[in-house]
Structures are given as structure tokens and as C-alpha cells.
């Protein structure tokens, strides 16, 4: 969507988006920023952070960029500390980082991969929120980025899918724990051609097959995911908590 057609729902708000120097996280930062938020972006590599900050600033977005590997406790603390030092509060947290280190069947997955999947996809989201919790404003909003594979973990993505299923439970549990001060919701994307999904979406036959199976006959875009995330994070969703929106072109998820 053209920036000129987008509203200003996040004027005066401060938003932290993890894993946000490219792909879905970047588009979420861009969308919240275009709508008036001060956005705090981060990822593992300084060069990626610098490039993304430059691109967002060129669009007139108020942005701070930091290196934060979500597994690094010091960097997580620094992300929150620097946000508070510069902006004084946190209105929105989008927990977007994930890893998929294995395509093995679950019972063949090495313990190191199981640990990494749990750590990056679930545990560090909790640890970051523990760090952020005392700074969350009244009316604040948390959005987890899960996956369509959470609903029926497919072969090749099975254990990754299971960690994404855990985020659906985490959304429900935290929505209760943090109500009424903070809302907690989740977005479950279908396939989006980013670096993360490259091994599937860059294969023409696999891509065609996926598009054919999707009722809306296309893959998702990072902007599709950003639009749903922005809705859930905004006051327009002020009576919605504990929910997951599937943004997958009609791909089967649940009744």
C-alpha cells in the first residue's frame, strides 16, 4: 500500500520489533513507523542494522537500531535499556525472531537443534518480555509471529511447527496474565518469499505447488503480515486479546 494511504494509528507510541532488519520484521517496523511510531529495530549483524536504519530514516521514520541476538541476555537487556533511555516507555513489542535449524523428522532431530528451536522460537520471547514488562504502558500490546505450520506441523518443518504451536499457547496464557494492562495477540503467516523461506519459495516447482494449493493463489507478502500485526497492535483491536490471526491466503488452519 502507498504510504500516503496509510493512517497514523501509532502517533506518540514506541514499538520494539525483534529480528527486524529484513523480511517480515522489517516490514512491520516500516508499517508502524509510517503510522507514526518510534521504532526500535534489531538483529544479529551491525551492518544489517545500519542498512535498515538508513532505509527507514529515508522514509521519515523515527528509528533506533541496535544489535540484539535474541539469545544474548546482555543484548536483550541493552535493547530494553536503550529504548527506555531514548524514548522512556514501551507501547508495542513484536516478537518475531525464529530459527529453523533442521529439516529432520522430530525423532531424528539432534538435541542441539531441539535446544536451538526452543530457545530462539519460544524461550527468548519470554525472556525479552520479562525484561520489558515493567516498562509496558497501560494499553500496550504484544504480538507474537507464529506460523501457519503451528496448526498442522508439516514434514520437514515439524519441530519448527511445534515451537510455533507453543506460541499460540503462550499468546493465550500471557493474554490472561497481562490483562487488562496489556493485550497479547499473534499472527500466523503463510509462506512468504523471504530469506527464511528461500529454500522452499525459490524452488519454482514448490512455489507453484504452494500457490496452487492456496485459495487466494499467491504467496503472502511481508506487507500482508505487517498490516495484520499493525491492526492487532493498534487501539482498533482494543477489545481483542489472546487471539491469533492466520494470514495465509485461505490455506487450511482450523475451523
Give residues in contact with ligand NAP (CB under 6 A).
Answer: 18-25, 43-45, 48, 68-71, 96-98, 120, 145, 147, 189, 191-192, 194-197
Question: What stretch of H or E contains 123?
Answer: none
Query: Which residue is at the shortest CB distance from ligand NAP?
Result: 23
- Cell, residue 182: 496489556
CA distances from 21 to 28, 92, 174 (A): 10, 17, 26
C-beta closer to ligand NAP: residue 53 or 70:
70
CA distances from 6 to 30, 98, 224 (A): 11, 28, 13
Query: Catalytic annotation on 160?
Result: yes
Q: Is 139 left (phi over 0), alpha (psi -120 to 50) or beta?
A: left
C-beta closer to ligand NAP: residue 237 or 246:
246
**Helix/strand/coil percentages in the chain, nearest 5:** 50, 15, 35
The least CB distance from residue 11 to ligand NAP, in Å, is 26
The least CB distance from residue 111 to ligand NAP, in Å, is 19
The least CB distance from residue 194 to ligand NAP, in Å, is 3
C-beta closer to ligand NAP: residue 104 or 235:
104
Cα–Cα distance between 98 and 83 in angstroms, integer?
A: 22
C-beta closer to ligand NAP: residue 110 or 195:
195
The least CB distance from residue 109 to ligand NAP, in Å, is 17
Q: Which residues pair with 33 in a beta bridge?
A: none
The least CB distance from residue 106 to ligand NAP, in Å, is 17
Task: Taking the CA atoms of 188, 193, 196 and 199 in sequence, report the sign of the dihedral they define.
Answer: positive
C-beta closer to ligand NAP: residue 25 or 249:
25
Cα–Cα distance between 150 and 165 in angstroms, integer?
A: 4
- Which one from 26, 87, 160, 199 is the annotated catalytic residue? 160
- Cell, residue 76: 536483550
Comparing CA positions, the residue from 156, 149, 153, 154 lying closest to residue 104 is 156
Cα–Cα distance between 235 and 246 in angstroms, integer?
A: 20
* Residues involved in catalysis: 160
Amino acid at each position: 500500500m502507498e504510504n500516503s494511504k496509510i493512517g497514523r494509528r501509532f502517533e506518540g507510541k514506541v514499538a520494539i520489533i525483534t529480528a527486524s532488519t529484513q523480511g517480515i520484521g522489517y516490514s512491520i517496523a516500516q508499517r508502524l513507523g509510517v503510522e507514526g511510531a518510534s521504532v526500535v529495530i534489531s538483529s544479529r549483524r551491525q551492518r544489517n542494522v545500519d542498512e535498515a536504519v538508513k532505509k527507514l530514516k529515508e522514509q521519515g521514520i523515527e528509528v533506533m537500531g541496535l544489535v540484539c541476538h535474541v539469545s544474548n541476555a546482555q543484548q536483550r537487556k541493552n535493547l530494553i535499556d536503550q529504548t527506555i533511555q531514548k524514548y522512556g516507555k514501551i507501547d508495542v513489542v513484536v516478537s518475531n525472531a525464529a530459527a529453523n535449524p533442521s529439516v529432520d523428522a522430530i525423532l531424528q532431530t539432534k538435541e542441539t537443534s531441539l535446544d536451538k528451536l526452543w530457545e530462539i522460537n519460544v524461550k527468548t520471547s519470554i525472556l525479552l518480555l520479562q525484561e520489558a514488562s515493567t516498562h509496558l504502558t497501560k494499553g500496550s500490546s504484544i504480538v507474537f509471529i507464529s506460523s501457519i505450520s503451528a496448526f498442522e506441523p508439516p514434514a520437514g518443518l515439524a519441530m519448527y511447527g511445534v515451537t510455533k504451536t507453543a506460541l499460540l499457547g503462550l499468546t493465550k496464557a500471557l493474554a490472561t496474565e497481562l490483562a487488562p494492562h496489556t493485550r497479547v495477540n499473534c499472527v500466523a503467516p503463510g509462506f512468504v518469499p523471504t530469506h527464511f523461506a528461500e529454500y522452499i519459495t525459490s524452488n519454482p516447482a514448490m512455489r507453484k505447488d504452494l500457490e496452487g494449493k492456496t485459495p487466494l493463489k499467491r504467496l503472502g507478502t511481508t506487507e500482508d503480515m505487517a498490516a495484520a500485526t499493525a491492526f492487532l497492535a493498534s487501539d482498533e483491536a482494543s477489545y481483542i486479546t489472546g487471539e491469533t490471526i492466520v494470514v495465509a491466503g485461505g490455506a487450511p488452519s482450523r475451523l
